[in-house]
Amino acid sequence: MKSVAHSFARLALWAAAASLASSALAAGEVNLYTTREPALIQPLIDAFSKEHGDIKVNTVFVKDGLLERVKAEGARSPADVLMTVDIGNLIDLVDGGVTQSVQSDTLESVLPANLRDAQGHWFTLSLRDRVLYAEKDLPITSFTYEELADPKWKGKVCIRAGQHPYNTALIAAKIANDGEAETELWLRGVKANLARKATGGDRDVARDILGGICDIGIANSYYVGHMKNAAPGTDARKWGDGIKAIRPTFARTGGTHVNISGAAVAKYAPNRNNAVTLLEYLVSEPAQTLYARANYEYPIRPNVPQDLVISAMGPLKVDALSVAEIAKHRKQASQLVDKVGFDQ
């Protein structure tokens, strides 16, 4: 009997030790699910790991279907942090029930109310403004989004698909500012000015301007930084050198449209505290400097030094609308794209 009792005691001690070891391991890691390209966020992960050496970051790149994957994993999901781009994608995660509320003095002190969820379900990590690419010798120093529909640009505008989230967000912002009827007239005017089918990517806008297919186009600002800082002689550098970038504004408000990259803490995060630590680091000055210098994205902290290519565009006056308010008009925007046959 003593032998049996002794065995049970040893098993109990082993189980307790295993439990503690498991807890210790969990205390030293955070699982990041992200739709962002690994090369873009690795400098940030490396910097976090250097500052928080006791927390290992396990990164899972999910190109498509982030919401569906986390839903399928359910309560057993190892995901701690969900990182993605576009406010619509973040709100889809919240509406899909895979996030949890976070209260953090650090996050709330750094981020203004229009760049975070009121209930703490998502937080902005960087801004990405939608800017004008123009042939480098065109005498343009300022521009409004409304001017894209000016008949003087007929056959001279390039843009990616209207149904792409970047453009759907821009159209949604136009609806939020000016109403659906006015936005429809504007979108029809932009379509009439297209030099080619609305397709491809943002860098293709610069490529086609250099190729003489169009004179102007709309694309994200950070691509300008990547292209103009690419190695000399590469295609990307040639495309970047062939354009200049100007921050347009909405005529009515005088603000530039921005979308965001952001993150949320997963509903069943097994390492919740470490998840919050990671988010708080990503809004810190060192991390925001990396967003600005390595990724050419616009930092959410003021006075963070930027790459010279991006700073040459001048200060960014963000459209005053909350990104969450803009996201409410995504469905209208998508329907409007189809209604005017923008991508046909």
Which CATH number characterizes residue 233's domain?
3.40.190.10
What are the residues whose beta carbons fall under 8 Å from the beta carbon of 163, sequence distance 6 or more?
334, 337, 338, 342, 343
The verdict on residue 8 lying in a domain is no
Q: How far is the C-alpha of 7 from the C-alpha of 183, rounded, in Å? A: 76
* Residue 24 domain-assigned (yes or no): no
Is the same domain home to 204 and 220?
A: yes
Provide the 8-state DSSP code for 114.
Answer: G
Residue 322: per-residue pLDDT: 87
The answer to the question of residue 64 being in a domain is yes
Residue type, 237: R
273: nearest Cα among 11, 93, 51, 55: 55
Residue 15 lies in a domain: no
Nearest alpha carbon to residue 263 among 235, 291, 221: 291
H helix or E strand, kind and range, residue 53: none
> How many domains are there within the chain?
2
Q: Which amino acid is at 269?
A: A
Does residue 335 share a domain with residue 210?
Answer: yes
Q: Which residue in 290, 301, 280 sits closest to 40, CA to CA?
A: 290
**Are 51 and 146 found together in one domain?**
no
Return d(Cα 112, Cα 119) in angstroms, integer.
Answer: 13
Q: Which residues pair with 260 in a beta bridge?
A: 127
CA–CA separation, 295 and 159 (whole Å): 22
Contact assessment for residue 197 and residue 236, using Cβ atoms and an 8 Å cutoff: no
- pLDDT string in tens for the chain (344-residue length): 444 344 333 433 333 333 323 333 445 999 999 999 888 899 999 999 999 999 999 999 999 999 999 999 999 999 999 999 999 999 999 999 999 999 999 999 999 998 999 999 999 999 999 999 999 999 999 999 999 999 999 999 999 999 999 999 999 999 999 999 999 999 999 999 999 999 999 999 999 999 999 999 999 999 999 999 999 999 999 999 999 999 999 999 999 999 999 999 999 999 999 999 999 999 999 999 999 988 899 999 988 999 999 999 988 999 988 888 999 999 999 999 999 999 99
Q: Are residues 225 and 330 in the same domain?
A: yes
Burial of 26 (0-12, 13-18, 19+ CB in 10 A): middle
1 within a domain of the structure (yes/no): no
**pTM of this prediction?**
0.85
Phi, psi of 167 (to 5 degrees): -80, -35
Question: Quick one: which H or E segment has residue 162?
Answer: none
The parent domain of residue 71 ranges over 29-127+258-306
Q: What is the pLDDT of residue 3?
A: 43
Do residues 139 and 94 both lie within one domain? Answer: no
Residue 12 placed within a domain: no
Let me know whether 89 and 211 are in one domain: no
Residue 152 sits in the same domain as residue 51: no
Q: Both 239 and 157 in a single domain?
A: yes
- In a shared domain, residues 85 and 226: no
Q: Are residues 138 and 222 in the same domain?
A: yes
- In this structure, the answer to whether residues 95 and 147 fall within a common structural domain is no
Residue 299 DSSP one-character state: P
Q: Does residue 211 lie within any of the structural domains?
A: yes
Q: 45 lies in a domain?
A: yes
Residue 137 sits in the same domain as residue 221: yes
